[in-house]
């Protein structure tokens, strides 16, 4: 049964038929064109590669025996160039001797010659259905990331731009292991996804496992899976996350929390690209890119003896250290703009963003929780406040108070000076505190003190505290 959607979709697909037999090329081209596909043909591998260079081919029908090289060689070259291309191998022999090799190289299916044209049409149709699904998944994931606001934002800092360039290069190198290090909330998970999405394995699965979320034995069966009967609760065989990540990325989050016993097993699996399910007796091969993340300094854990040195070196192929937000305040405005837009969308608001005073405070703050903390601060401000702008008073006290003009600093100074002795001193401290709470905004500080703005100005001059009010307002 043909649906409109199927017919429509077909017209956008480009097919390549590679066979040295002229009549077969002709027949296939004719009947597949009739089906609504755009069909190009090539007589050998060299010619096929020219076509692949030139245009986007969604599916290739490749003869196993070609004049210059084998069909499998061509398959590998196509997959290296454009992994999402579906390749179907046609073989003159009843049995395909290299079926396993072909499958491993990503061959969708193979057909023995001679074949029925209807059979070929069906296989092509099914393969392209998978292509459409894969494209749909990629599109949905992009949309989802847009919606949750979890797209990577690069602010003004050179360090982050350089980091991103490194990530781009690393992602393109296929399967090299990446170790992400950085404090909580700096964006390790986001970067891990970026390594996946920018890489050759992007069509493959991205599988995440948080090593601190499971007790040891559970983590082992999560990672490697188990065979039916391996333990009391193992009612049936279950694939592990490592197996599910085959052809994609396995993200090992909080790797520093893994027990040393399991570390040894993981190391063996990574080195041999194979492992056994718990209770299993056969090796399972996997080809997976490993991205590990930790908010600890792994090298220090090695020195303390809680992390295996050999596993450390196995993971530490490409180390990416994401700097804390306080070391890159120039990224704050872009991140703020991103979160303001995201939460406006989500909460149906039209907040413009922080005013100058508030932005000054956001850039001066130390962000112990890094970007996650910043995101939460913006979410809270947009959710709770109905002003057009985010003002200092919409920010949590630790941000207003912990900056240079903050309460804690004043309190510390007071203690050092031995407390308040004169009324003038008390007045001065009151003004400084009010200014700190108002984020430097003189109008609001005056309101809080119960005096006019003019009086405040006079007092500021008198006490020479202009510098403190440097945030403007
Ligand atoms: N550069 C960035 N651009 C946009 N959002 C970011 C960026 N960095 C971090 N975030 C956001 O901050 C939050 C925390 O990031 P993420 O979960 O990646 O941190 P993490 O380093 O994995 O932290 P933890 O060690 O606590 O797991 C997420 O909501 C993420 O989307
Ligand atoms: Mg994380």
How much distance in Å is there from the Cα of 179 to the middle of ligand 2?
Answer: 13
Helix (H) or strand (E) holding 29: helix 22-34
Q: What confidence tier does 269 reach under pLDDT thresholds 50, 70, 90?
A: very high
Ligand 1, atom 31: nearest CA belongs to which residue? 150
* 189 Cα: distance to centroid of ligand 1 (angstroms): 6
Domain housing 34: 4-137
Same domain, 8 and 131: yes
What helix, strand, coil percent values describe the chain, rounded to 5? 55, 15, 35
- Which is higher by pLDDT, 203 or 251? 251
Q: Are residues 165 and 311 located together in one domain of the fold?
A: yes
pTM as predicted: 0.59
Mean pLDDT across 304-323? 94
pLDDT at residue 421 in the model: 61
pLDDT(38) > 70 = yes
* Cβ 185 under 6 angstroms from ligand 1: yes
Tokens 């005056």: give the residue.
446
Q: Pick the closest to residue 27 from 11, 35, 69 (CA basis).
A: 35
Residues 16, 133 share a domain:
yes
* 68, pLDDT greater than 80: yes
Output the CA 389–ligand 2 centroid distance in Å. Answer: 31
**Average pLDDT of the chain to the nearest whole number:** 84
pLDDT band at 5 (very low <50, low <70, confident <90, very high): very low
328 lines ligand 1 (CB under 6 A): no
Q: 146 in a domain, yes or no? A: no
114 cis-preceded (ω within 30 degrees of 0): yes
Residue 208 and residue 313 share a domain: yes
Query: Is 147 a member of any domain?
Result: no
138 and 202 Cβ atoms separated by less than 8 Å: yes
Q: Which of 394, 424, 445 is the C-terminal boundary of a domain?
A: 394
In a domain, 152, yes or no: no
- Say which residue the tokens 């909580």 belong to: 184
Distance in angstroms (rounded) separating the CA atoms of residues 111 and 89: 6
Tell me the C-alpha to C-alpha distance, in Å, between residue 78 and each of 12, 87, 184, 436, 452. 19, 8, 41, 63, 76
- 179 and 305 belong to one structural domain: yes
Q: What's the confidence (pLDDT) of residue 404?
A: 47
417 by Cβ neighbours in 10 Å (0-12 / 13-18 / 19+) ranks as: exposed
CB distance 150 to ligand 1 below 6 Å: yes
Count: domains in the chain: 4
Residues 84 and 112 occupy one common structural domain: yes
| CA of 165 relative to ligand 1 center, distance in Å | 18
Ligand 1: residue of 147, 151, 187 to mutate (most ligand atoms within 8 A of CB) is: 187
| 301 shares a domain with 186 | yes
Please tell me the distance from the alpha carbon of residue 264 to that of residue 243, in angstroms, as a whole number.
18
């Amino acid at each position: 049964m043909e649906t409109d959607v199927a017919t429509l979709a077909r017209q956008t697909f480009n097919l390549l038929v590679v066979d040295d037999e002229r009549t077969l090329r002709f027949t296939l081209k004719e009947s597949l064109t009739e089906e609504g596909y755009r069909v190009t043909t090539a007589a050998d591998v060299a010619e096929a590669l020219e076509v692949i260079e030139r245009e986007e081919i969604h599916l290739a029908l490749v003869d196993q025996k070609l004049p210059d090289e084998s069909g499998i060689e061509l398959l590998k070259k196509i997959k290296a160039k454009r992994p999402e291309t579906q390749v179907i191998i046609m073989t003159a022999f009843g049995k395909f001797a290299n079926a396993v090799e072909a499958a491993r190289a990503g061959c969708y299916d193979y057909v023995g010659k001679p074949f029925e044209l209807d059979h070929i049409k069906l296989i092509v149709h099914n393969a392209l259905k998978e292509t459409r699904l894969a494209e749909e998944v990629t599109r949905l994931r992009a949309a989802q990331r847009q919606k949750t606001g979890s797209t990577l934002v690069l602010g003004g800092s050179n360090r982050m731009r350089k980091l991103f360039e490194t990530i781009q290069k690393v992602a393109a190198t296929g399967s090299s292991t990446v170790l992400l290090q950085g404090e909580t909330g700096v964006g390790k998970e986001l970067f891990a996804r970026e390594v996946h999405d920018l890489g050759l394995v992007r069509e493959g699965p991205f599988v995440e496992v948080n090593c601190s979320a499971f007790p040891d034995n559970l983590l082992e069966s999560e990672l490697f899976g188990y065979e039916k009967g391996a333990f009391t609760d193992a009612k049936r065989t279950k694939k592990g996350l490592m197996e599910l990540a085959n052809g994609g990325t396995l993200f090992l989050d909080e790797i520093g929390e893994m027990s040393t016993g399991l570390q040894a097993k993981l190391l063996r699996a990574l080195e041999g690209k194979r492992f056994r399910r718990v209770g299993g007796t056969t090796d399972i091969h996997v080809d997976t890119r490993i991205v590990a993340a930790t908010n600890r300094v792994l090298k220090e854990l090695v020195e303390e003896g809680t992390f295996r040195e050999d596993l450390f070196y196995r993971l530490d192929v490409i180390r990416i250290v994401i700097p804390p937000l306080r070391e890159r305040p120039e990224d704050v405005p872009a991140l703020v703009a991103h979160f303001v837009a995201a939460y406006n969308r989500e909460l149906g608001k039209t907040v413009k963003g922080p005013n100058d005073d508030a932005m000054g405070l956001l850039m001066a703050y130390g962000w112990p929780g890094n970007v996650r903390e910043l995101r939460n601060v913006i979410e809270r401000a947009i959710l709770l406040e109905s002003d057009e702008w985010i003002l200092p008073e919409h920010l949590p006290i630790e941000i207003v108070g912990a900056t240079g003009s903050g309460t804690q600093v004043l309190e510390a100074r007071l203690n050092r000076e031995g407390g308040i002795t004169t009324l003038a001193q008390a007045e001065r401290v009151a003004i400084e505190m009010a200014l700190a709470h108002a984020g430097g905004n003189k109008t609001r500080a005056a309101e809080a003190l119960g005096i006019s703005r003019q009086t405040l100005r006079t007092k500021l001059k008198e006490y020479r505290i202009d510098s403190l009010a440097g945030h403007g307002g």
